């Protein structure tokens, strides 16, 4: 088969997490492995009303082909939101609706990466980005994450010594670590990408899930001509609609991205776009998001309390202020993957840190998702992992 399939796909690793989720599908397995929003946060009744309403109001338009960039009214809504909430100079023409943020990552790789190009990533980094970019065979340059963001000296060293095509960062409640960049680190990253004329890809799927409700500004501030800002409705409405978006001020870059999307799928699900626009038009989205924040804050605190109670003291972990994940660090020399293999026998699952690095290391780290389990189940799962660690 190797002589038939492309070198690109042979070099692209399958999703490690998808493999784990298959193992964890059994109802008797407590899973902290997925990045799943809590189903009780889905506004099902309101969306049902929106679906009925758009068929009545728009008729065949919701079932027809549409423009590649996406529904204009939805793009105008996003632009207005970013102008008001984040003080960014954004208009509807700057926005392309994508089939989730994952398609946006694939389009970025397709448009920007030639084989052998250098791409800067956080280390550990978002697995979905690693997988999407890997198809295009770049050289990954990992910059270590500290408690308040990337190692700035290492960030500059990479930009100085490597011809980096773009830097990909997740500044708010990062996946997998849950850390958030400090204001000082944001300013430093902005200064560096300006100094070395590097494209900044700023991914923000979790920014609105801050426990304190604080609006954290964007590194690019909407001022960088060669920057891409990614957003998503998956974590604040529903992931099943697969609706994300890209904000691209650079007209030429936006044109190339649009052409790549046109070749990939013509346009994202237009029925879902009409439905989502109707939902935000007739419901208080900010009130809905606040309810999710309360829910996830409580779940995060429950997991941290359980980890403090049941984990050995030589295991450290992040204490996120939002998002969906906690990152735990085992003592040096221990393998989280080996721990996972023992844990799954005890009917509990998490994601070992190995796939979040691009250098093939045996990691002593693991990612725990706290958004998709009840308090009682969460405490029991953490207790089982803690017993294995001891």
pLDDT over 90 (residue 53): yes
Rounded Cα distance between 177 and 317, Å, is: 9
What architecture (CATH level 2) is domain 7-43+287-389?
A: Alpha-Beta Complex (3.90)
Strand partners, 227: 200
Instruction: Give yes or no for a contact between 68 and 274, defined as CB atoms under 8 angstroms apart.
Output: no
pLDDT in tens, 238-253: 999 999 999 999 999 9
Question: According to CATH, where is 3.90.1150.10 located in the chain?
Answer: 7-43+287-389
Residue-level pLDDT at 10: 74
CA 163 from chain center: how many Å? 25
- Quick check: pTM over 0.85? yes
Closest by CA to 201, choosing from 282, 94, 122, 270, is: 122
pLDDT over 70 (residue 21): no
Residue-level pLDDT at 215: 83
Rounded Cα distance between 223 and 382, Å, is: 44
Residue 34 — very low, low, confident or very high, per pLDDT cuts 50/70/90? confident
pLDDT over 90 (residue 291): yes
pLDDT over 80 (residue 24): no
Residue-level pLDDT at 2: 64
Considering all CA atoms of the chain, what is the largest pairwise distance in Å, rounded to the nearest integer? 62
Residue 33 — very low, low, confident or very high, per pLDDT cuts 50/70/90? very high
Q: What are phi and psi of 103, to 5 degrees?
A: -65, -35
Residue-level pLDDT at 265: 96
Beta-sheet strands, E only, within the chain: 30-31, 95-99, 118-123, 139-146, 149-150, 164-169, 199-203, 227-232, 243-248, 316-317, 325-329, 348-349, 351-352, 365-369
Residue-level pLDDT at 225: 79
Residue-level pLDDT at 335: 96
Averaged confidence pLDDT in the chain? 94
Residue-level pLDDT at 350: 95
Residue 334 — very low, low, confident or very high, per pLDDT cuts 50/70/90? very high
pLDDT in tens, 162-203: 999 999 999 999 999 999 999 999 999 999 999 999 999 999
Residue 276 — very low, low, confident or very high, per pLDDT cuts 50/70/90? very high
Fold of 60-282: 3.40.640
pLDDT in tens, 202-246: 999 999 999 999 888 899 876 777 899 999 999 999 999 999 999
Q: What percent of the chain has pLDDT over 90?
A: 88
Question: According to CATH, where is 3.40.640.10 located in the chain?
Answer: 60-282
């Amino acid at each position: 088969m190797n002589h038939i399939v492309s070198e690109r796909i042979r070099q692209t690793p399958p999703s490690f997490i998808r493999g784990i989720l298959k193992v964890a599908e059994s109802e008797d397995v407590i899973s902290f492995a997925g990045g799943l929003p809590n189903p009780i946060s889905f506004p099902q009744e309101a969306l049902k009303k929106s679906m009925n309403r758009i068929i009545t109001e728009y008729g065949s338009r919701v079932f027809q082909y549409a423009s590649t960039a996406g529904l204009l009214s939805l793009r105008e809504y996003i632009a207005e939101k970013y102008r008001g909430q984040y003080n960014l100079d954004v208009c509807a023409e700057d926005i392309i609706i994508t089939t989730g943020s994952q398609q946006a990552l694939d389009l970025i790789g397709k448009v920007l990466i030639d084989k052998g190009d250098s791409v800067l990533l956080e280390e550990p980094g978002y697995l979905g980005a690693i997988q999407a970019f890997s198809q295009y065979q770049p050289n990954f340059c990992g910059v270590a994450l500290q408690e308040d963001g990337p190692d700035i000296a290492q960030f500059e060293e990479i930009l100085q010594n490597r011809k980096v095509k773009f830097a990909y960062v997740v500044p708010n409640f990062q996946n997998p670590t849950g850390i958030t960049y400090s204001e000082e680190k944001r300013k430093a990253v902005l200064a560096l990408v300006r100094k070395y004329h590097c494209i900044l890809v700023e991914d923000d799927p979790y920014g609105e899930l801050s426990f304190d409700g604080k609006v954290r500004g964007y590194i690019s501030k909407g001022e960088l001509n060669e920057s891409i800002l990614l957003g998503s409705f998956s974590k604040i409405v529903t992931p099943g609609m697969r609706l994300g978006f890209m904000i691209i001020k650079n007209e030429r870059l936006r044109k190339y991205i649009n052409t790549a999307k046109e070749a990939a799928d013509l346009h994202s699900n237009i029925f879902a776009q009409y439905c989502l626009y109707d939902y935000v038009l007739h419901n208080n989205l900010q009130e809905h998001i606040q309810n999710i924040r309360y829910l996830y804050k409580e779940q995060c605190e429950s997991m941290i309390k359980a980890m403090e109670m049941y984990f050995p003291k030589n295991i450290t972990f992040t204490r996120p202020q939002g998002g969906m994940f906690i990152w735990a660090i085992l003592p040096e020399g221990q393998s989280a993957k080996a721990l996972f293999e023992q844990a799954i026998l005890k009917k509990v699952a998490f994601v070992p840190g190995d796939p979040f690095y691009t250098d093939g290391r045996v990691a002593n780290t693991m990612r725990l998702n706290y958004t998709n389990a009840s308090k009682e189940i969460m405490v029991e799962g953490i207790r089982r992992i803690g017993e294995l660690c001891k």
